[in-house]
Structure 1
């Protein structure tokens, strides 16, 4: 379908063409823009490139910057980062602030030039000093993150504020985050929310998400789950991955909206497909337990594995459980041990206990009581009742550790106090076999363990 334009637009294009063909560089630039936008002429990016290049060769700085952008984006010409850098540099050298910012971005990304945060900082600084809000934001981010310079929160705050006061949405969000974290300024959730709100009103997805979370958690505002959900949905609908995950949480639990696990599943899926590790884990759990969808062990394993491969300990544990029990997959104790070990090494108490069981029984791994005790102890010290019971059993039988009835009673007692019924029954039997002195020692050790682990 051809673009329809007015007689006035056509007349303007004809005037610019006449002047451009006579060598007027400014007319060449404007004619190039008309071709790029299809105003008064049929849209033709290649013709736009031809006329933009003529204006750039005539030394017009803003034409040089536009030409650099056309090379960068492959607009009317094949994409060429080196050519983009050349033209950005030509315009930046003439003081064009937009080109200075663009050149800084090329250095930041390592596009067409070797990556250099130092050079990026220099060019961002030149554009920022000319009042370009987006460059001021980029300069603030460099100071906040220590890119090309030492981290300097007060300077970051100053540049964010300059840009925020000009209405830059990203700067407003960043300023809000500075207040939230107390970076370079007195911590204030109220001020954070005020800046989030300004950015969110402009449609900035991350700001909408942060504002939604603030309403959900009552940080700087009164808790309002309906408003939280409203802002999170706006961010999620723009594709914000964390907001998609949060919408899944809200719907799965009925926070601010009627509980709807089927819809929660879809929001989790959107975030999980984009690589969000918690969404992958939650999606796996939905399939594992048939929440919002038919129970599907195969899908559960697939999503747990994706999260596990990103290092999520709870997902690694669940993958281990699936392989150990053969849920939706052939039973494979060797793989189960490997996944338990990954999670156990990250401190997951359930995985530490299960790894201890596999070692104690020689399942998927050579039998090793000493190693079993080591992993039981790690989990038991975290308060894992089953690991406490298992460790008590090892002390009772003298497996992997010197037999000690007092320590056995202590660990089994801790498991019993945590609600383990088997441990409670065994504690009664063991108590009858201990002397009064041994029982007193065990009870004292139990109290001291609680005191040491009260936090």
Structure 2
């Protein structure tokens, strides 16, 4: 056995030399991976995870290679596995799985995983929103040389003055202002949003919008979507759906699946455009093809209601369950709504209410609206119109058009 191990030494050395020399031939990389090279397996994962190469791009094949590399301890591969799940790129994504791999890689010292984990804590995706934890991980990744973490840290301090205090908030604004003066798109978006929301500065929506419009020159994908949201939610003087739609179309042309999802919403509800359920379904499918997982619930609702598509409770439930299994609270809320009414499944009011209440507690777009409906009418729960009004407002702030209709019906200002 010792002689066999000694015999393998030249092979191990050869594998190391070939991989480190930048071998790109997939067949040779497969040979090296089969010989035990975790780096070759990782490189194969990268090969199949390149969206620019339409011939080789296949996230599920990439995932399989990354998993092999991760089993051998590759932190790079663990981080990539996390990103594939969190972005919904693979066939059966799981936010929980994605978070677990990112957390494991970050705790083991992977700089970019630290940055990703910080962002997850900042926005409350999968992990509970925790500004202090987000700061800790941004600082760790910054110490490891991840330059992007600096703007993330500035944004965190600026938008959470109640947690970090006025000094950090003011310093963040000052540094972001310097970057914005150099036309840094991320800084322009962050400073613009600060003026719109009043983070660390007096509210000035017009000034904020002007800064975001500057960002559109170099980052149209994101900036046009933010401008659309500004007009859709009426962050200025009033809601302007036609302007929102125009900017969503521009964002869509630059490849934004989130824009496609929201164009679908506008066609579904007739906002700034004639109501057209067929077009709504088309845009939802387009968004879903581009891995915008929010389109699962949107398309499911069309199937539930039979608008723009054939009414099909089974298909609606399939889409809602898929969204819930991934970790989307909107999926869980809609599963609950179906259980509550026994649409395509046996009635289970207890489970249905739990799912809706849980989603509402997390301020979900759908959960808050469904819970508000139940509380307003006293259906399945004790009537509480004051709480219903609060939840309608939360849902409307999240952009739910039906919640806005409910508020207008109740004579309340949006």
**TM-score using structure 2 length:** 0.51
Matched, 1:223 2:311: yes
CA distance in 2, matches of 1:140, 1:44: 31
Matched, 1:304 2:382: yes
Aligned counterparts, 1:158-197, within 5 A: 158-197=246-285
CA distance in 2, matches of 1:116, 1:255: 47
Q: Which has the higher contact order (CA 8 A, sep 6+)?
A: 2
Aligned counterparts, 1:14-413, within 5 A: 35=111, 37=113, 46=139, 48-49=141-142, 65=151, 68-69=154-155, 71-72=157-158, 80-148=168-236, 151-202=239-290, 204=292, 206-237=294-325, 243-271=331-359, 273-274=361-362, 276=368, 278-279=370-371, 303-304=381-382, 307-311=384-388
Once the 2 structures are TM-superposed, how far is the Cα of residue 101 of structure 1 from its aligned partner? 0.9
Conserved in 1, the CA contact under 8 Å of 2:261 and 2:295? yes
Query: Relative to 1, partners in 2 of residues 1:171 and 1:71: Cα closer, same or farther, differing over 3 Å?
Result: same
CA distance in 1, matches of 2:386, 2:326: 27
CA distance in 1, matches of 2:329, 2:371: 9
Query: Relative to 1, partners in 2 of residues 1:4 and 1:256: Cα closer, same or farther, differing over 3 Å?
Result: same
Query: Relative to 1, partners in 2 of residues 1:107 and 1:44: Cα closer, same or farther, differing over 3 Å?
Result: closer
Once the 2 structures are TM-superposed, how far is the Cα of residue 50 of structure 1 from its aligned partner? 5.6
Query: Relative to 1, partners in 2 of residues 1:182 and 1:111: Cα closer, same or farther, differing over 3 Å?
Result: same
Once the 2 structures are TM-superposed, how far is the Cα of residue 214 of structure 1 from its aligned partner? 0.7
Greater Cα radius of gyration, structure 1 or 2: 1
Query: Relative to 1, partners in 2 of residues 1:190 and 1:124: Cα closer, same or farther, differing over 3 Å?
Result: same
Provide structure 2 residue ranges, at least 5 long, that are not aligned to the other structure.
Answer: 1-71, 77-108, 116-135, 390-409
Once the 2 structures are TM-superposed, how far is the Cα of residue 168 of structure 1 from its aligned partner? 1.9
Conserved in 2, the CA contact under 8 Å of 1:67 and 1:87? no
Conserved in 2, the CA contact under 8 Å of 1:176 and 1:194? yes
CA distance in 1, matches of 2:375, 2:270: 35
What residue in structure 2 maps to residue 413 of structure 1? none
1:121-148 deviation digits (Å, cap 9, x = unpaired): 1111111232431211011122334433
SS in 2 for 1:304: coil
Conserved in 2, the CA contact under 8 Å of 1:65 and 1:91? no
What residue in structure 1 maps to residue 4 of structure 2? none
Count, aligned residues: 260
Once the 2 structures are TM-superposed, how far is the Cα of residue 194 of structure 1 from its aligned partner? 1.3
Query: Relative to 1, partners in 2 of residues 1:245 and 1:286: Cα closer, same or farther, differing over 3 Å?
Result: farther
CA distance in 2, matches of 1:133, 1:37: 24
Conserved in 2, the CA contact under 8 Å of 1:268 and 1:283? no
Query: Relative to 1, partners in 2 of residues 1:156 and 1:36: Cα closer, same or farther, differing over 3 Å?
Result: same
Once the 2 structures are TM-superposed, how far is the Cα of residue 221 of structure 1 from its aligned partner? 1.0
SS in 2 for 1:222: coil
Query: Relative to 1, partners in 2 of residues 1:251 and 1:150: Cα closer, same or farther, differing over 3 Å?
Result: closer
Conserved in 2, the CA contact under 8 Å of 1:250 and 1:256? yes
Once the 2 structures are TM-superposed, how far is the Cα of residue 238 of structure 1 from its aligned partner? 5.8
Conserved in 1, the CA contact under 8 Å of 2:338 and 2:345? yes
SS in 2 for 1:129: coil
What residue in structure 1 maps to residue 61 of structure 2? none
CA distance in 2, matches of 1:186, 1:272: 31
CA distance in 1, matches of 2:240, 2:331: 30
Once the 2 structures are TM-superposed, how far is the Cα of residue 240 of structure 1 from its aligned partner? 5.4
User: Once superposed, what is the RMSD of the aligned Cα atoms?
Assistant: 4.2
Query: Relative to 1, partners in 2 of residues 1:137 and 1:36: Cα closer, same or farther, differing over 3 Å?
Result: same
Conserved in 1, the CA contact under 8 Å of 2:375 and 2:385? no
SS in 1 for 2:216: helix
Once the 2 structures are TM-superposed, how far is the Cα of residue 94 of structure 1 from its aligned partner? 0.4
Query: Relative to 1, partners in 2 of residues 1:91 and 1:65: Cα closer, same or farther, differing over 3 Å?
Result: farther
Query: Relative to 1, partners in 2 of residues 1:304 and 1:113: Cα closer, same or farther, differing over 3 Å?
Result: same
SS in 2 for 1:310: helix
1:355-412 deviation digits (Å, cap 9, x = unpaired): xxxxxxxxxxxxxxxxxxxxxxxxxxxxxxxxxxxxxxxxxxxxxxxxxxxxxxxxxx
**TM-score using structure 1 length:** 0.47
1:317-337 deviation digits (Å, cap 9, x = unpaired): xxxxxxxxxxxxxxxxxxxxx
Once the 2 structures are TM-superposed, how far is the Cα of residue 216 of structure 1 from its aligned partner? 1.0
CA distance in 2, matches of 1:65, 1:274: 27
